[in-house]
Amino acid sequence: MGIKLSNLHISRELLLYYHGIGDSLLLSTVLYGLGRQNQQRYVVGSAHPEIFEGNPYVIHLPFSQSANYKIARILELLGVVKKITHVDYYQEGHPPKKHILQLLSERLGLRKTPSHPLIMLSDEEMSARLLPSSEKPWVAIQSTGIKDWTDNKNWGASNFNEVVRLLSDRYCFVQLGNKGDPVLDGVIDRTGDLSFRKVFCVLNQCSSFIGQVGFLMHAASALRLPSVIIYGGFEAPWQSGYIENINLFTKLHCSPCWLEEKCPWDKKCMTEITPARVCEEFKIMMGKRLCFIQQ
Domain region containing 77: 6-108
pLDDT at residue 120 tops 70: yes
- pLDDT, residue 94, reads 77
Domain total for the chain? 2
pLDDT tens by residue, 162-187: 999 999 999 999 999 999 999 999 99
Lowest mean pLDDT among 13-27, 71-85, 120-134, 201-215: 71-85
pLDDT tens by residue, 246-284: 999 999 999 999 999 999 999 999 999 999 999 999 999
128 within domain boundaries: no
Pair 64, 171 in one domain: no
Separation in Å, CA 28 to CA 101, 217, 247: 10, 16, 24
Long-range CB pairs of 82-85 (<8 Å, 24+ gap) are 82/12, 82/13, 83/12, 83/13, 83/14, 84/13, 84/14, 84/16, 85/13, 85/14, 85/15, 85/16
d(CA 139, CA 172): 6
115 within domain boundaries: no
Helix (H) or strand (E) holding 35: helix 21-38
- pLDDT, residue 1, reads 46
> What pLDDT band is residue 212 in, cutting at 50, 70 and 90?
very high
Pair 149, 247 in one domain: yes
Pair 31, 71 in one domain: yes
- pLDDT, residue 295, reads 46
Structure pTM? 0.94
Exposed/middle/buried for 211, CB within 10 Å: 0-12, 13-18, 19+? buried
Question: In this structure, what CATH number is given to the domain that contains residue 263?
Answer: 3.40.50.2000
How does DSSP assign 223-278, residue by residue? Answer: TT--EEEEEETSS-HHHH--TTSEEEE---TT-S----SPPTTTTHHHHTS-HHHH
pLDDT tens by residue, 193-202: 999 999 999 9
Question: In this structure, what CATH number is given to the domain that contains residue 20?
Answer: 3.40.50
- Mean pLDDT of all residues in the chain? 93
